[in-house]
Chain A
Amino acid sequence: EIVMTQSPDTLSVSPGERATVSCRASQSVGSNLVWYQQKPGQSPRLLMYGASTRATDVPARFSGSGSGTDFTLTISSLQSEDFAVYYCQQYSRWPPWTFGQGTRVEIK
């Protein structure tokens, strides 16, 4: 099973600043990496797939990069609606599909 590890667990950022969330896979997953956003009381929302392709209606301030074992989600200028928990997930080696533990992006 591929283990996904995110860092940091919590990120404190001021509105308008850049936020960077990292995700590391225990073995190569190529570019088969997804990012989700989850707000309190809501289900996860697909943000990015293929490591760097934005899903429908995702603002351009979200970008993804990386391949192999190291990936990054960057939010260029945090808006109030971006404060949430972010999860990465690999879809390279199955079973099972595996998720990171989540990174909470909170207001500084």
Chain B
Amino acid sequence: EVQLVESGGSVVKPEGSLTLSCAASGFTFSKAWMNWVRQTPGKGLEWVGRIKRKNEGGATDYAAPVRGRFTISRDDSKNTLYLQMNSLKVEDTAVYYCTTDCSASGCYGDGVFGPWGQGTLVIVSS
């Protein structure tokens, strides 16, 4: 069974920093493109960014609102995905999910999010 478990959510002040983690199991993590998606009551679901496989250079891509402030990385030896968030803004307040297009039986294709974690809440407030 695929499991994605996020952690690290907290209350942080504007302009602060925070790192989220996502521990993965039940599929070949090193072969998966991994994504972060966030959810707010006001804006709904919003794709944040993704990271490709190491053998593809671990290339990253980000949504415009977070580009230059957020950094996605991965540690395949630990089956863990990270989201480093800097210069946080009030509008970054959300539940952050990690997700992938891969399941235990295979991958659906880029942009189709199969397994999701339970999410971790980030609140940016003074």
Chain A residues in 8 Å Cβ range of B62: 95
Residues B111 and A94 in contact, CB atoms below 8 Å apart: yes
B45: contacting residue among A49, A56, A89, A95, CB under 8 A? A89
**Is the C-beta of A44 less than 8 angstroms from some C-beta in chain B?**
yes
- Contact A101 B47, CB 8 Å, known A43-B97, A43-B116, A43-B118: no
A94 nearest in chain B by CB position: B111
Q: How many residues of A contact B (CB 8 A)?
A: 24
**Is the C-beta of A74 less than 8 angstroms from some C-beta in chain B?**
no
B113: contacting residue among A44, A94, A95, A98, CB under 8 A? A44
User: In the complex, A97 Cα to B47 Cα: how many Å?
Assistant: 6
Residues A95 and B63 in contact, CB atoms below 8 Å apart: yes
Chain B residues in 8 Å Cβ range of A56: 103, 105
Chain A residues in 8 Å Cβ range of B117: 43
Residues A99 and B112 in contact, CB atoms below 8 Å apart: no
Q: Which 3 A-B pairs have the closest CB atoms?
A: A91-B111, A43-B116, A99-B45
User: Can you list 23 A-B contacts (CB < 8 A)?
Assistant: A34-B111, A36-B113, A43-B119, A44-B45, A44-B113, A44-B116, A46-B108, A46-B112, A46-B113, A46-B114, A49-B109, A55-B114, A56-B103, A89-B45, A89-B113, A91-B111, A94-B111, A95-B62, A96-B64, A99-B45, A99-B47, A101-B44, A102-B45
